[in-house]
């Protein structure tokens, strides 16, 4: 049978990757890159055809795949006709949603920069009937997180103040918006990388990992060929659970032989702390080495950037499966079947590759933002938004701007408060708190996961958020505008507004298309617009 016969509409429907990306861009009315198409082929979403050694795809199959994905009509049928599709930002590629410093460090619960731009920028959308902020205004984010509002305010020529109870969150935010000495930063990173390489000489973990990767590549090519294996799983030709368990056990023999050959000490001697429990012994020794070198850096600004790179590296090197990286379950000390990648994978035995990758990426992202930045003031204060004196804290850091702030006051708020019972914000960066010695303030979190979602937790949440708003009102202009991004599944924001002496003047219901959670079902959130009652 000819390859064209697999594609029901005939020979003209088979195209190469570049042609497919152009067609898909036109069909979806948004940019689709050749890499996007290759991803679909690689992961078995569409079938790979070949001609003269070149990969071809069928446009009919590609169309069917895209039609099966969520579109505006389908989402509105599920979530309601009041869904504001313009706020889906479906036209933006992933690289645009995580542009420059927005992907400087992983962080759960952050919103995309385009959402901030929409409400802050007066030129974003010609269909907007009202403008809320102007260049030169001061914006407040009392739940600053990783600093998305601060970064976008800078891009738009606005001043911004953030507040976060987490010391580590504040450091991430402030590194993003700070000005950096790039020659010094680059040379320091290069020096640390050379020292790490010297430290690894004579150790066996790097050579062991290289040999392990070689054996894995041979084994996976034989038993988990891509994308054929995934297609067989999808079609039911292979029972994934049974087949994977059998092959996982088969490769473990090779793994333990290599461990013995290179005399690798896999586990640490104790598991009392997070760093003891979630990192293999060779990785922990490299982390401790780089941290000791970090402490020797005299330039505070450079030291903080290096700390972010090290933290990001450490996070990626935890001894867990790829599927459980965001929600740790059980330490992994041997090779395993990875459902996410459809093959046998391994834990990390050296931080070297991740350190080099994130060092390069960090310099690139900071440099990209530096070209866009405006001469405005941004800072994230570490403190409790329910009680903090913003004027006093800014005066400690920048007396000149403090005078402007007292005179002009803050125009309004754009923020995403924590959702009830969803995330333990300190715990997501437990490794960083332990490594850098930051004081944890878990008890000051509003609506954390460990308190649950029961009646008492919801009542506490209402009090907490409204206390923040009541405190922040002292520093706002009289005719303020407040925008809070929330998933109000318990309908508690009307109570929050009332307790804060405010009224909800508008609700913008947006679909959340690009979720990182395993549950990809239709989901929406509300941007509440509040004003003085």
Cα 399–chain centre separation: 34
* H-run or E-run covering 56: strand 54-58
Domain that holds residue 136: 72-167+373-421+447-532
Last residue of a domain, one of 23, 44, 68: 68
Residues 187, 302 within the same domain: yes
Q: At what angle do helices 167-177 and 300-316 cross, to 10 degrees?
A: 120
Buried b (16+ CB within 10 A) or exposed e, 162-190: bbbbbbbbbbbbbbbbeebeeeebeebbe
Q: How far apart are CA 478 and CA 262, in angstroms?
A: 69
**One domain, residues 302 and 237:** yes
Residue 437 lies in a domain: no
Total domain count, the chain: 3
> Which string of DSSP letters, residue by residue, matches 225-259?
-TTHHHHHHHHTSS-HHHHHHHHHHHHHHHHHHHH
- Category of 342 on φ-ψ map: left (φ > 0), alpha (ψ -120 to 50) or beta: left
User: Phi, psi (5° rounding) for residue 158?
Assistant: -120, 150
Residue 284: both structure tokens together: 């922990």
Do 359 and 411 fall within a single domain? no
Between the two ends of the chain, the Cα-to-Cα distance in Å is: 72
Question: Is residue 418 within 8 Å of 425, Cβ to Cβ?
Answer: yes
| Cα 253 to chain centroid, rounded | 36
In a domain, 261, yes or no: yes
Please enumerate in sequence order all residues whose Cβ is within 8 A of that of 60, keeping only pairs 6 or more positions apart, or say none: 7, 8, 9, 13
**Concatenated DSSP letters for 481-510?**
EEEEEE--TT--HHHHHHHTTEEEEEEEEE
Nearest to 372 by CA among 101, 47, 107: 101
> What is the reported pLDDT for 1?
30
- The closest of 336, 355, 356 to 346, measured between CA atoms, is 336
In a domain, 459, yes or no: yes
> In what helix (H) or strand (E) does residue 336 lie, and over which residues does it extend?
strand 336-338
CATH number of the domain that 514 lies in?
A: 3.40.50.150
Is 435 part of a structural domain of the chain?
A: no
Helix (H, G, I), strand (E, B) or coil at 215: helix
Does residue 410 sit in the same domain as residue 506? yes
The answer to whether position 174 is within a domain reads: no
Q: How far apart are CA 466 and CA 126, in angstroms?
A: 33
pLDDT digits (tens, 9 = 90+) for 71-86: 677 888 888 889 888 8
Task: Give the span between the Cα atoms of 86 and 127, in whole angstroms.
Answer: 10
Q: Do 220 and 342 belong to one domain?
A: yes
Last residue of a domain, one of 332, 365, 398: 365
350 occurs within a structural domain: yes
Q: Which ranges constitute the DSSP H helices of 409-453?
A: 430-436
- Are both 123 and 189 inside the same structural domain? no
Same domain as 187, residue 274: yes
Per-residue confidence (pLDDT) for residue 126, from 0 to 100: 44
Sign of CA dihedral 365, 372, 155, 190: positive
pLDDT of residue 12: 55
Q: What is the pLDDT along the chain (533 residues), one digit of tens a residue?
A: 343 344 544 445 899 999 999 999 998 888 899 988 998 888 777 888 888 888 999 998 888 888 766 567 788 888 888 988 888 887 777 888 899 999 999 998 888 999 999 999 876 554 456 889 999 999 999 999 999 999 999 999 999 999 999 999 999 999 999 999 999 999 999 999 999 999 998 789 989 999 999 999 999 999 999 889 999 998 999 999 999 999 999 999 999 999 999 999 999 999 999 999 999 999 999 999 999 999 999 999 999 999 999 999 999 999 999 888 777 889 999 999 999 899 999 999 999 999 999 999 999 999 999 999 999 999 999 999 999 999 999 999 999 999 999 999 999 999 999 999 988 889 999 999 999 999 999 999 999 999 999 999 999 999 999 999 999 999 999 999 999 999 899 999 999 999 999 999 999 999 887 655 445 567 889 999 999 99
Q: Are strands 336-338 and 343-345 parallel, antiparallel or unpaired?
A: antiparallel
Residues 353 and 279 in one domain: yes
Which domain-ending residue is among 68, 87, 115? 68
Question: In the block, which residue shows the tokens 């700070």?
Answer: 178
Record the tokens describing residue 352, joined without a space: 């070297």
Distance, CA of 233 to chain centre: 29
Euclidean distance between CA atoms 217 and 10, whole angstroms: 37
Nearest to 228 by CA among 36, 355, 44: 44
Q: How far apart are CA 303 and CA 432, in angstroms?
A: 14
Whole-number pLDDT of residue 39: 85
52/152 same-domain check? no
Is residue 172 one of the residues assigned to a domain? no
Rounded to whole angstroms, how far apart are CA atoms 167 and 147?
A: 13
Whether 209 and 64 share a structural domain: no
Q: Assess whether 55 and 80 both reside in one domain.
A: no
Question: pTM score, two decimals?
Answer: 0.86
Contacts of 304 (CB under 8 A, 6+ apart): 171, 174, 175, 178
Instruction: Decide if 427 is inside a domain.
Output: no
DSSP string, 95-146: HHHT-GGGGSS--TTPPPHHHHHHHH-TTS-TT-------TT-EEEESS-TT
Angle between helices 59-68 and 17-28 (to 10 degrees): 40
Domain identity same for 234 and 253? yes
Element housing 199 (H / E): helix 182-200
């Amino acid at each position: 049978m000819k390859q064209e016969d697999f594609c029901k509409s005939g020979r003209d429907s088979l195209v190469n990757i570049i042609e497919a990306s152009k067609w898909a861009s036109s069909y979806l009315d948004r940019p689709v890159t050749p890499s996007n198409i290759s991803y679909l082929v690689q992961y078995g979403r569409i079938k790979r055809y070949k001609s003269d050694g070149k990969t071809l795809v069928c446009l009919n199959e590609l169309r069917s795949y895209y039609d099966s994905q969520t579109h505006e009509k389908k989402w509105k049928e599920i979530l309601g006709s009041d869904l504001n599709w313009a706020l889906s930002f479906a036209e933006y590629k992933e690289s645009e949603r995580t542009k420059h410093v927005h992907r400087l460090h992983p962080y759960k619960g952050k919103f995309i920069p385009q959402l901030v731009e929409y409400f802050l920028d007066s030129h974003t959308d010609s269909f907007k009937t009202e403008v809320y902020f102007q260049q030169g205004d001061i914006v407040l984010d009392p739940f600053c997180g990783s600093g998305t509002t601060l970064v976008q305010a800078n891009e738009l020529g606005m001043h911004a103040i953030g507040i976060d109870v987490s010391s580590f969150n504040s450091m991430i935010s402030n590194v993003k918006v700070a000005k950096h000495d790039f020659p010094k930063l680059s040379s320091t990173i290069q020096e640390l990388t050379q020292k790490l390489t010297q430290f690894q000489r004579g150790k066996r973990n790097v050579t062991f990992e290289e040999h392990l990767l070689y054996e894995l590549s041979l084994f996976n090519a034989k038993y988990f060929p891509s994308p054929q294996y995934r297609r067989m799983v999808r079609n039911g030709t292979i029972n994934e659970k049974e087949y994977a368990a059998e092959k996982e056990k088969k490769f473990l023999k090779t793994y333990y032989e290599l461990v013995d050959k290179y005399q690798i000490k896999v586990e640490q001697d104790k598991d009392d702390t997070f760093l003891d429990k979630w990192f293999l012994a060779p990785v922990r020794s490299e982390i401790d080495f780089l941290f000791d070198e970090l402490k020797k850096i005299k330039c505070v600004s450079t030291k903080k950037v290096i700390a972010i790179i090290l933290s990001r590296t450490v996070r990626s090197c935890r001894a867990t499966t790829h599927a459980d990286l965001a929600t740790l379950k059980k330490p992994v000390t041997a090779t395993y079947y990875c459902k996410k990648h459809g093959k046998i994978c391994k834990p990390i035995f050296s931080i070297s590759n991740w350190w080099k990758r994130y060092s390069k990426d960090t310099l690139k992202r900071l440099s990209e933002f530096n070209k866009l930045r405006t001469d405005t003031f941004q800072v994230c204060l570490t403190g409790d938004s329910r009680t903090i004196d913003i004027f006093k804290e800014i005066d400690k850091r920048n007396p000149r701007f403090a005078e402007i702030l007292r005179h002009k006051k803050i125009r309004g708020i754009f923020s995403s408060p924590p959702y009830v019972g969803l995330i333990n914000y300190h715990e997501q960066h437990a490794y960083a708190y332990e490594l850098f010695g930051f004081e944890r303030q878990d008890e000051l979190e509003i609506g954390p996961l460990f308190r649950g979602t029961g009646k008492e937790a919801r009542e506490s949440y209402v009090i907490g958020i409204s206390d923040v708003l009541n405190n922040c009102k002292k520093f706002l202009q009289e005719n303020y505008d407040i925008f809070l991004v929330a998933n109000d599944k318990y309908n508690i924001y009307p109570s929050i507004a009332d307790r804060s002496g405010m009224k909800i003047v508008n609700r913008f219901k947006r679909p959340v298309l690009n979720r990182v959670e395993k549950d990809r079902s239709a989901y929406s959130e509300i941007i509440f617009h509040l004003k003085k009652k």
